[in-house]
Amino acid sequence: MNVILIAAITADGYIARHSNDTVDWSLDLHLFKEQTMGYPVIMGSKTKKTLTLDLKGRNEIVVNRNDKPKTILNEIKADKCFIIGGGKTFTRFSTYLTHLYITIHPLIFGKGVALFPNLKREMDLTLIKMLPVQERENLYQFQYKINH
């Protein structure tokens, strides 16, 4: 199964200003919806609380710090799933990731919630696609394969 981290980040690598932040990442929302529709999406409980809309058409799996990533992933009966946040959840599932889909937005926060807070290992990535975000000049989603 492909386990894909999908995230919008700032140019300095943050996904939010703080853990309760509701950042407006709407510039690529249609792409997020198109890619995740019909697939399981895994998120932490803090991320779930910051969502302003339900993710209709997707099986939402909300995890907490006591859930084991391998157990969660073993229960999924799909060819791929998406990890949608937040930073702690990205870090906890990092061992199982096969791909990263990252859209870098033209913002700088200076501080905040990092994409991978407290990551204890390096990741070797291969760029497989640079996808333009429709109707947004100079905004791209970078799709990477993680080399294990």
In the structure, what pLDDT confidence band is assigned to residue 21 with cuts at 50, 70 and 90? confident
Range of the domain at 80: 2-147
Is the pLDDT at 128 greater than 90, yes or no?
Answer: yes
Please tell me whether the overall predicted TM-score, pTM, comes out greater than 0.75 for this model.
yes
CATH label of the domain that carries residue 21: 3.40.430.10
Mean pLDDT, to the nearest integer, of 116-122? 94
pLDDT of residue 6: 98
- pLDDT tens column, 50-76: 887 789 999 999 999 999 999 999 999
Q: How many domains does the chain have?
A: 1
Mean pLDDT within 107-136 = 93
Name the token pair of 18. Answer: 């703080």
Report CA torsion sign: 34, 37, 39, 43: positive
Alpha helices in 25-147 (DSSP H): 29-36, 45-50, 69-74, 87-92
